Amino acid sequence: MTMTDLTQSPAWLKLQEHYSTIKDVQMRELFAEDPQRFNKFSITMPETLLLDYSKNRITDETMTLLCALARQSNIEQWRDKMFSGKAINITEHRSVLHNALRNCADTPVIVDGQDVMPNIKAVLAHIRRFSDQVHSGEWRGYNGKKITTIVNIGIGGSDLGPHLVCESMKAFAQEGLKAHFVSNVDATHLVETLKNIEPETTLFVIASKTFTTQETMLNAHSARSWFLEQVGDESAIEKHFVAVTTNIELAKEFGINEANMFEFWDWVGGRYSLWSSIGLSIALYLGMDHFEALLEGAYEMDQHFQKTPLEENIPVIMALLGVWYNNFFDAKSYGIMPYSQYLDRLPDYLQQLDMESNGKTTDRNNKRIHYSTGAVIWGKPGTNGQHAFFQLLHQGTQLIPADFIMPIESENSLEEHQEVLFSNCLAQTEAFMKGKTIDEVIAEMKQQGCTEETIEAIAPHKVFEGNKPTNTLLFQRLTPKTLGSLLAMYEHKVFVQGIIWNINSFDQWGVEYGKVLAGQILQDLSKTDPVNNHDASTNGLIDFFKS
């Protein structure tokens, strides 16, 4: 049997059968039956994080069957292939080695007969040297002033990762430094950023794996023109523009001094690249020690993922639960609810990680898939979400599983705030699980002295069906290290799901297609005659724009 027959495979068929027996079981009954449910369905990674997955629609049998699905998919063998540098990105013939970037053990990792670790260490040393120089003032702007502002120009994988880390780690930032991220080709993004900064104290980091991405190149050229307009001296450029790229030649053509280029390699996918020199902005904004702590945290999660049995393996369990809801309960979207304002950008980051990796319809045997793959990932920090879209999660018709993520201690202690935040977080997951029955609503309304008439009219609206699954992830503090572990955990979750769905999580032909089409339309915009080489809608819109 090939993996194309996933839905006919023994483990899948058993899950299908099991689903019909469990689909109407209420979690509140499962909790009532088993006082040990929290202990049974939670995993602690010492000094890192706690995953409580007891508020899921699962029993012992569900987890046994899900782990059997993971084994049937050869998760462990695929994981080992990834870590050892096999070219598992089959459509681009590439290894997938973002893990090597945080390989704190320094064990060799061989690609095409060569150990990649010495090059990784050399680039890390370069990042340390450079960021230290910027912080100490050894590196200064063209007129001798200290750098106070970092502007990262990049998009997608060259923006979302470093942007998330810098935003979430504000409490650890170097004193006197500000970081900005410009990604959108809408001039507004660059112009509004430039309004608040001075060229003489600004360092632009041009972050692009290919150094060909239209938006980044245009933003970089416009930033360069702005800089030259104000400074008027080409030789000043090299003090204010550095590049992070795999394409040294194109970066040189842009005018960046080779000594100020930070290399990475084609075996680092864009959305997996924050651990590479794409993290330069992180090292600049937070300092190299914090960047290394981030790598260490990720390394610890890599170790956990590699060494822990599937049944106790945090990313594996999270992946399996995601498959359980996506493929058996038909849950098409998945919520990420950080109870930490610092993690405001986490849903955006995970959106790319998950949706670009697993938004696929062709399997690894080149066949069209007929089961559901990646879910729609979305979310916002609590408690704000509670006053907005949570209503649909509580009483809407769709099933939307969600992760609730929270540090126990805050980096900003104001009396009572953290307790209020935590009680809200727990109140939501408890309410999602328990719901409220019609009998409970009636009893409550009677106690409040409502009339029979009011009860009849209002009670049905106050019923919560409950049985909505959530995971809770807790850690002591949101530090570079815990953030590293958290992000690596989601990377491995996405990896495991991709293996189960038998897809290549590491290409992104949809993104490439958009890049090509935009280039063609841009050419049409410069033609004076009406265009007729597209569909009627696209032709009409192009002509309307030109007119």
Residues serving a catalytic function are 356, 387, 515
> 213 near 515, Cβ under 8 Å?
yes
Count CB-CB contacts under 10 A for residue 338.
Answer: 27
Interaction of residue 210 with ligand G6Q, rule CB under 6 A:
yes
209 scored as a contact of ligand G6Q (CB under 6 A): yes
Helices 314-323 and 480-500, packing angle to 10 deg: 50
Which span (210-218, 433-441, 480-488, 520-528) binds ligand G6Q, by CB under 6 A?
210-218
Packed helices 480-500 and 75-83: angle between N→C axes, nearest 10 degrees: 120
Q: Supply the minimum distance, in Å, between the C-beta of residue 91 and ligand G6Q.
A: 13
Q: How far is Cα 504 from Cα 390, in angstroms, rounded to an integer?
A: 33
Q: Which residue is nearest to ligand G6Q (CB)?
A: 156
Sign, CA dihedral 204-210-214-217, equals positive
Which of 269, 347, 407, 469 is close enough to bind ligand G6Q by CB under 6 A?
269
Give the span between the Cα atoms of 449 and 453, in whole angstroms.
Answer: 12
User: 420 or 518: whose CB is closer to ligand G6Q?
Assistant: 518
The letter for the amino acid at 106 is: D
* 208 near ligand G6Q (CB under 6 A): yes
Q: Which is nearer to ligand G6Q, 168 or 213 (CB)?
A: 213
Residue 127 or 278: the one with the smaller Cβ distance to ligand G6Q is 278
Residue 203's nearest CA partner among 170, 236, 225, 172 is 236
Report the distance separating Cα 486 and Cα 147, nearest Å: 31
Smallest gap from Cβ 212 to ligand G6Q, in A, equals 7
Binding flags for ligand G6Q, 392-431, as an x/- string (CB under 6 A): ----------------------------------------
Give the chain's end-to-end CA distance (angstroms, integer).
58
Q: CB of residue 44 vs ligand G6Q: minimum separation in angstroms? A: 32
Burial class of residue 541 (count of CB atoms within 10 Å of its CB; 0-12, 13-18, 19+): middle
Site string for ligand G6Q, 154-193 (x = CB under 6 A): -xxxx-----------------------------------
Out of 85, 161, 162, 270, which residue is the one contacting ligand G6Q (CB under 6 A)?
270
Phi and psi dihedrals of 522, rounded to 5? -60, -40
Which CB sits closer to ligand G6Q, 4 or 210? 210
Q: Is 416 left (phi over 0), alpha (psi -120 to 50) or beta?
A: left
Per-position DSSP letters for 261-282, written without gaps between them:
EEE--TTS-GGGGGGTGGGHHH
Report how far residue 460's alpha carbon sits from residue 434's, in angstroms, rounded to the nearest whole number.
16
- Which of the ranges 68-76, 134-142, 268-276, 456-464 carries the binding residues for ligand G6Q, by CB under 6 A? 268-276
CB of 238 to ligand G6Q, least distance (A): 21
Does position 219 interact with ligand G6Q (CB under 6 A)? The reply is: no
Residue 73 CB, shortest distance to ligand G6Q, in Å, is 23
Token pair, residue 270, equals 């864009």
Site string for ligand G6Q, 504-533 (x = CB under 6 A): ----x--x----------------------
Binding site for ligand G6Q (CB under 6 A): 155-158, 208-210, 213, 216, 269-271, 356, 508, 511
